[in-house]
Each structure stands twice: as structure tokens, then as C-alpha cells.
Structure 1
């Protein structure tokens, strides 16, 4: 078998060992076992057990798994009829449900591990438990789950295990997990006072002063690049009548993920008639005046384009937006900044002719190179082609796909990117950009999507050079993607030690004694005038406490001001990540250093005057 196939087989086999261990520990009559698939770093299994499994039980489970493996039991595959399967699992409600849903003529397979444990499974698995003796595994965690992800169904306990071919690989993975926990953006965000969450607004970040400064720098960077590439920025309403979403098609496909704002148009106050059937009807999704917070910017961009007639000479028209978006998520799916209900995108909708598709996408790829390169982040591209339920003219699709493929071939070479056949959106093919962080994890951020459907739905046109009215193609484009998610990613990538240009505060100033405050305030004002973000501590705290505070905030530079500095117009600099102090630096020289790093958006800090 290929290495990846082998990993899947033995991880799936270990899921069966896990289930057997739990059953032997808690008693077969006390355990309902559901499903147990392999995952990227191991496996999990879902159970319903009267007793809550806790971390104190992990070693007991691991020891039982080890005991079972040492029995060297054979694994036996058996084909059974639906009737036989139902009899075999008559005491297991979840297995019974799965079996009942199978067609009558379905070939059903079960796997025995020894003689006393059997599971409903397609396989394949190892032939004997001894094949698992050299592998290394560890119970990772236990979490709550719902049968088939439905909150109205059975509440289950999901036990996760790490599983690797040997101890060294498990050890390396655990070290990576530990490092990932130290980089957790939720922890760093709290430590650096960047953002917070509150139960009154689930999945919606409160951006605190430090975090909001960084947020604004990302917006500024994006806007500067877009200005160079001919983008114009618009802003549109945050809520729209359902009529707009009916035209765009989102009402049919996305309504369950939208926040509704039911309308009352006759002047009646809702609280006056809240118990009446009439008011209840008005607050239903059927009401004509129902409004919805926008989950994406696309329909409003279509409206902005449609406001006037257009000529081919005007195209491409690029409408960028950074408006707030809202998407309703299940509570269990939200995760810090990675999965939120309120966010902004560096969104754009560009209206092009068919002939302009290639050049426009090529320009977007150049923008992605510039933005990701500034953060020192590499990425790879994925190309998704026409799905079975595509909309529009197949010849236009063929032309669009050929243009995208040619761009990717030129940039990465043939075969230098992944092709997802049939995985494009129903309205057009797309390119997704997967960025890689410091731990080697991949995140989908950038996307370029061709859209033939929304221009059709909104009846958008332009007059071509032959005088004929034609339909433009829309390019949906984002590079950061969600700014919230991107900040989460780069926070973990940099471990909170952001590049100078992006750091919430770039310079902390520490006067040693009160008599040094005047000079400290003077240099703080001068740095601020040069657009350097400064925080000055003139409190009664001692020097070491002030320095420690700024170090904890990961400020790139800390200036220590004493008698000599005040007298000579110099600064002494503590550089983040370095134990050395650069002394007697002319203040003017330090300002030039800061301006240089801001101008160049340097990835690394200048550590000495020689570098500058």
C-alpha cells in the first residue's frame, strides 16, 4: 500500500481497538457505539455512556488498548444480509439506524476483532492486531458531539486519539501540538489585549485599541495596493430587503445562514401587538418587508454597477468593499477569529469582458504575491472546474477555464497546482489560494471566482464596440479573505511578534525617573508626527516593571531614557527578541530607522545601526 493508504488503514483499525477498549472498560450493556473514522493525526469514536469520560480515564483507555493489541487477535471480514445485520446489532441503536437506511440488496460487511467485538464497517483493516504493536498512540481528548451533527439528536462523547507509525513521529507531532497551543491566537489575543468576545454577541469580536490599530494597518495596506491596481472602493447598506436576496439566489441557497430583521411597515410597535397572530406573521420570513443582514457583498456590487449604462471602454470596473458581513453559525462551529459571525473581507467584484478574464486574474495573482510576500508567507493554488449543475453557456465556461489554466501553467508550470475537477461554484470556475504558516499548516484565504450567473440574474449589460449589448463577467476576489480569520492566522504564524509595520504599538518609551519625562514626551511626540505608533509610560512604576510590560506586549522596540540620553539627544534601544541593548543612538537616526521599516514594510527588525 501507499504510505497514505497504510496510515488510513491502521488508524481506522485503531478506532476499532478504541471502541473495543471502551466497551470492555464500561461494559457492553452500558455502551452505545456509533462511528469511528480515521482523521489526519489519528482517529475518534463516538459513544453514549452514562459515565462522563474525563482526562483521568485516558490512561485506563490507553492501557486497555495496549492489552487488546497484545492479544494478537485476528480481524475477520464477513458479508451479511440486512436482516442478519439488524439482528447482530439489535441492541445498538446507532448501528441499527445506519443499517435501516441501506438498500435491501446492499452488501453489508462487518469486521470482527477477536470473537467478542464486531463493528459495522466497509474496511479495510489489518489482518491481526499484532500489526499495530509497533505503532504509537495516545488519547488526545474527549468532547461533546451530536449524532450526525444534529443538536436535536443524541448527545455523545467523542474520544479522540493521536496515532502514528512510531514513537518518534508521535513525539514530533506532540511537540508541534504544544507549539501550536503556545501560538493559539485566542491566548495571544488575550495576552496582548487585542480583542475579546462576550456572550452577548457570540462569534463577534470586540476589537480593543491595540487590536484595532493592527486591523486598520491591514486595511491601509490593502487599500494602498488596490489603488495602484486601479480599484475603486464602495460601501453599501448592511441590511437589505429580501427582494435583493431573491434576485441573487441567496434566499434559496443561504437563507439559513442569514440574520433576519423582520419589518413592520404600518407604524405599529411590535411590543404593542407582540402576542397577536398578525404580528407573528409580520415577523416571519414570508413577510414582504423582511430584511436580512448581508452575508456577502456581491448583490450590492451588482446594484452599484446597474445604476447606469456602461461601455466596453469602461471595463474592467473594480468595486472593492470592506463592509461588515454577518453569517449565522452554529455555536459549536465558532472558534475564536477563525470562525465568526461578524467579519470584514478585502472583497472585490470586478466587471470584465470575456476577453479581459485572463489579464484580470493574472493581475489578481500579482496582488496575492505582493500581499503574501510581505508577510513572508508561501502559498499554493487550487483550480476548481465546472460542476455538473453549472449555469451559463458551456463555451464561455470552456474559455474561462482555459484562461485560468493558462495563467496557472505560466506561473507554476503544468502540474504545479492541484485541480479539483467539478468542484467549481455553479456560477463559474475558481482559483483558491492555500497559504502555509510557520508550523506548515495550510489555510484557505485568497480566492478568485468567475461568475456568469449574478450578471444574468441582475440583467447587467455593457455596450460592446460593435454596438451590441453584452453581459459582463464578474470576478469575485479576496486575498486576506476574512480579516478576522487572517489576523488569527498571522497571529499564530508570528506568535504575536508581528513585523514592525503591523505591530499595534511599535515603540514603548520608558523614562527612568520623573525628571526624564519631559524628554520622553518630546521624542514620543516626534515619533507620532512621523506616524510611528508609540506608548509612553510616565507612571510611578519602576523602570523594570515598565520594560516588562512593553515586553509582554511584544513591542518591537523599547526606548530607555535616562540622564545621558536626555542630555545628548539620544536613545537606548531594547530590541524585541534580543538580550542586547543598542546604546547612544542619535534620536534622529532612530526615527529614520522606523520610517524605513514602515515604508518598506520590513519583515525583520533592524537589530543594529550597521543593518540600517
Structure 2
């Protein structure tokens, strides 16, 4: 395959020198934690006072435009129907309400001429209008972004720290906060959720305001992190802020109409992180949440999360004694016999695929002088994620990827164009000094091997090689979901080349054993009773409780070998 590792070139930020005191004021809250010192309200009061002055100016400008610049505009709906409106007056919400109350209530956000648009923001000219419900991905992002602001308001009230980033993510949202000498505890989640519920009940309106950058630097002078964002990320004279209740935050928007649109909200996780993900920057506290427009959807999400826990590879790895991790070698997996069997089988499978596609396997060193990494550019941009050491007054590093080594192999002698394309595959051990807080089971580790390959070819060969790689990926993933998880069989199956296990626990009933195997996610469960022993058969079930019935051992082994050879995706059904 083409190299799958992502080289961390990183973003080089030229950070301004900031004072060492990150928050000069904190907030008092009626919802705040008990038995804490009284906190100052000054920065919230000052922020609101400045905002209200700016809002009056904005409202006056909008009123002036509405009275002097308003004209009839044509608004084209998604079904092609056209309606009339007035520029600087008519809002998407008014159009939706004119169609039906249900449509207006179920619309999360509007899209005006392809741009996401607040429902209560007046349209300025002829427009193509889309009204997006929650099942739209763009609407979900807006919904979760608005929910993040609710969480941010709750965090500011409760902790009094400095808010940083609060974006929507693939499933939910989070907010980061800097707090001196303070960490978030999961025991605080119920309190934070109650604060969020109060904010939701108040139906705080989301207000949008475009403000000059220098004014915002004054508004957020208490928060070093917001000032960094303004100085480093905003390259325009103005940018926008959004307000809901006492919270005013730097934000491009758009948002839902008011906080009352968030019907169900749950806080489910917290972690520590670094500002901009850089280990030499300040430590932040991150809180994750999820929200939905009705409680039924929340219950479905909670059910899915519970089921996902049972599918968690870390849980399965422990229950099936496949692998474990140890604090004496963090981020480095210990594969137990069963896990090693699966591991080696997967490698064998990939090697067969490489061979079929004319890749040549090579073995390259684990350690290189940093001169190589300087030449490749990795040392300049990735050295913080590399394990390095001194030897004989030279600096060496464990390889985090195979690319430079393969380049050395290609260049070690003159090459002819007749050798191209040259496809080199490598299963060498790689090491990356990942932050301890980012390590997660087998998905983020410090020591690993990958099916890493590099293709050296002419310019004319690139298109064909890329097509071949895409076909390679597609063919592997077509069988990857269910490839080789043959479990729970007697020694005959083990000797036939399948991972075998047997439950001889006399304290468990047959049904209990079957249920345990299903919960442990074994694909095939072979029941052997007195009748089966006598007839030399097995009674075949699957983890989804599909019963295939009694099959001879010879026939079962033959069927499994066929399914294995064909890499059958739905092996449990095809048995």
C-alpha cells in the first residue's frame, strides 16, 4: 500500500509574548460550586457593558438600512417556489413560519445562497433559501456548536476560568478551559448539566454582532487565549461574536435561534489537553457533551453507547486474553498467545496480498542518525514525537516511519527505468513519542507495525499505480470486517489452523456458556454434547444466535477453510 502514516509537519505558530497570568478575573455564579471563595463579576460586567453599547450601534445601523435601503427581493425555496420579501427586513424564520409552524419549529438553521445563515438574520438581496432540519449534517454541526456555547456559559459560571475553543465535532461538541491549579471531575457533570438545563429553560437568544478587531481585543483583555486567537487567527479588520445570556464569545456562527431549541443535553467525558495541542503550552481542561432535539434521540444514543462499550476492542482484548498494556512500557502492546495468533494471521493475509500485487518485502533498520531525518525534514517538524538518544557524540533516533529508509534503499545503487515501478513493502517496528494523554488502546500507541509500502515510479506510471493502490485498499477492506475470528472450537479446529478455545467450566450451564461466548463476540460457537461426541459432529451457532445446526467436524473444518480462503465478508451467514 502507499504509506498510510501521516507525517506531522505541524503548524508553526508565532505566538505573541503573553503575561504569565492567564486570567485576571473570574466570575461569580449563582450556580457555582459550594464552599468556594466569592468571585469577582468584573470581567462579565465589563464585557456585557461594552457589548450592549455595540449592540445599540448595530441595531441603529440595521434600522437605518431597513428604512432607507429596503427593497423587494425574490426568495427561491428548495422546491423551486418563489416568494417575495424585503431586504434588511425579511428573515429565513419568517419565511419558514409563513409556510407552516411545524417547518419553522423543526428548522435548525438556514442556508442563504449556499451560506449558512442565522434564522433571525435579515436577508440582504435576492436569495436561494434552504431550511435545514436536524438530520442535515450541516444543521447538526450548528446545533452542537450552539450546545457548546451553552456548555461554555455553564463552565464560565461554575469554574470561572478562561474559555478557549468550543467547536462541534463528529458526534457532539466540547469546550476547553484554562484553570489555574484546578481539574475537572466527572462528579461535577450532574451539576454542570443542571446549569445547562437552566440556561436552556431561559431560552437565551443567540445574537450576532460584527465588531472591529481592536475593540474585541479590549473586550477580551481578561482572557489571554481569546487575544491569541484574535492576534494569530483573525486577519480581517472585523470579526463576529455571539451572545447568549451573559456569555459573549468569539465565533463565526451561525447558531440556533435560542438556547431553548436544545431539548436534551448530556455531558459524558472530560480530559486534559494542551493549547493548540502543543505539549510545551498551557494545560487545558476539556469537557465533552452531546445534545439532541428530543429525548428519544438521546435515549437511542445512550443505548448505542452502551452497546459500543461491549464492542470496545480494549474490553474484548481483555475478556478474550488477546493483549494488554503496562505502565512500564506505556503505549506498547503486549500480545498474548491468542492475540499474537490473530496478529500473525493478519500479517500473513497482507503479505499474500502484497505478493499478489508484485510488492517486494524488505527489512530496514530501526535506528538512524538524525542527519537522515534532517534531510527528510522530519527532524525540523517532528522531532518532539521521536525517541532519540546520544551514541559516540552523535544523535540517533528510532524511526517513526519507513519513508527515508526506503529512499536510502532505492538510492543505494544506480537504478534503471526498467526496474520501475519498484514497490517496496516493510513490516518494520515503528516508534512515536505520542503524548501519554492521547494513548488509547490499539488506536493510538507508541510502538507499532503497519503494512507500510512505497512505490518508486515514473511520472507516466503514477495514475496506474494509484488505481492499483485504491483497488488494493478496496479489496482488503471488503474482507477486513469479518476476516479470521474463528473461535470457540476444539483441538481439531486448532490443529487445522484456526484459533481454538474450549469452555470447560463445570459451574456454567450450556446456555450460560453460549451467552458468554456471544457477549465476548466469538463469531462461531460450536456446541459439543454427548450426541455430538458420539457422532463426531458439532452444533453450530453464531454470536447473533443464528443456528446452523449439526455438522460433522470434517465438514465444519472444510467450510471454515473455504470461507477463509475466499475472505468471505458475511462468513457467519454463509457457513
Alignment partners' CA distance in 1, 2:215 and 2:437: 37
* Alpha-carbon shift at residue 373 of structure 1 (Å): 1.5
Alignment partners' CA distance in 2, 1:256 and 1:330: 10
Shift of the 216–113 alpha-carbon distance from structure 1 to 2, 3 Å rule, reads same
* Alpha-carbon shift at residue 338 of structure 1 (Å): 1.1
Matches of residues 75-114 of structure 1 in structure 2 within 5 Å?
75-78=206-209, 84-98=215-229, 106-107=237-238, 109-114=240-245
Work out which of the residue numbers 365, 382, 391 in structure 2 matches 1:254.
382
Q: TM-score, length-normalised on structure 1? A: 0.63
| 1:506 aligned partner | 487
The answer to whether structure 1 residue 348 and structure 2 residue 453 are counterparts is yes
The answer to whether structure 1 residue 588 and structure 2 residue 554 are counterparts is yes
Work out which of the residue numbers 224, 241, 265 in structure 1 matches 2:352.
224
Matches of residues 72-471 of structure 1 in structure 2 within 5 Å?
72-78=203-209, 84-98=215-229, 106-107=237-238, 109-114=240-245, 116-126=246-256, 129=258, 132-133=260-261, 135-264=263-392, 282=393, 287=394, 290-375=395-480
Q: Deviations over 1:345-386 (max 9, x none)?
A: 1122222222222222222222223211223xxxxxxxxxxx
The list of structure 1 runs, each at least 4 consecutive aligned residues, that deviate by more than 6 angstroms after superposition, is 102-105, 537-543, 545-549
Shift of the 99–313 alpha-carbon distance from structure 1 to 2, 3 Å rule, reads closer
SS at match of 1:230: coil
| 1:599 aligned partner | 565
Work out which of the residue numbers 175, 189, 192 in structure 2 matches 1:45.
175
Q: Is the 8 A contact 2:387 2:397 kept in 1?
A: yes
Q: Is the 8 A contact 1:318 1:350 kept in 2?
A: yes
Alignment partners' CA distance in 2, 1:603 and 1:104: 51
Q: Deviations over 1:150-186 (max 9, x none)?
A: 4454443322221233444434433333333322111
Alignment partners' CA distance in 2, 1:541 and 1:18: 50
Alignment partners' CA distance in 2, 1:35 and 1:119: 10
Matches of residues 546-561 of structure 1 in structure 2 within 5 Å?
554-561=521-528
* Alpha-carbon shift at residue 233 of structure 1 (Å): 1.0
Alignment partners' CA distance in 1, 2:234 and 2:175: 25
Q: Deviations over 1:292-311 (max 9, x none)?
A: 21111122222222333333
Q: Is the 8 A contact 2:320 2:520 kept in 1?
A: yes
**Structure 1, unaligned runs of 5 or more:** 265-281, 376-489, 491-497, 510-523
SS at match of 1:201: coil
* Alpha-carbon shift at residue 242 of structure 1 (Å): 2.3
Alignment partners' CA distance in 1, 2:513 and 2:230: 66
Alignment partners' CA distance in 2, 1:346 and 1:186: 22
Which sits farther off after the overlay, 208-217 or 235-244? 235-244
* Alpha-carbon shift at residue 197 of structure 1 (Å): 0.9
Alignment partners' CA distance in 2, 1:568 and 1:193: 32
| 1:21 aligned partner | 154
Alignment partners' CA distance in 2, 1:139 and 1:324: 39
Q: Deviations over 1:54-94 (max 9, x none)?
A: 44433333333333343344444445556644554444444
The answer to whether structure 1 residue 11 and structure 2 residue 144 are counterparts is yes
Alignment partners' CA distance in 2, 1:151 and 1:306: 36
Alignment partners' CA distance in 2, 1:322 and 1:293: 15
* Alpha-carbon shift at residue 557 of structure 1 (Å): 4.2
Alignment partners' CA distance in 2, 1:97 and 1:65: 28
* Alpha-carbon shift at residue 507 of structure 1 (Å): 4.5
Q: Is the 8 A contact 1:70 1:133 kept in 2?
A: no
| 1:402 aligned partner | none
SS at match of 2:301: helix
* Alpha-carbon shift at residue 343 of structure 1 (Å): 1.2
Alignment partners' CA distance in 1, 2:148 and 2:284: 16
Report the aligned-residue RMSD: 3.5
Q: TM-score, length-normalised on structure 2? A: 0.66
Q: Is the 8 A contact 1:557 1:576 kept in 2?
A: yes
Q: Is the 8 A contact 1:42 1:164 kept in 2?
A: no
Shift of the 365–39 alpha-carbon distance from structure 1 to 2, 3 Å rule, reads closer
Paired residue total: 440
Q: Deviations over 1:554-593 (max 9, x none)?
A: 544455556555554444445544375734x433323322
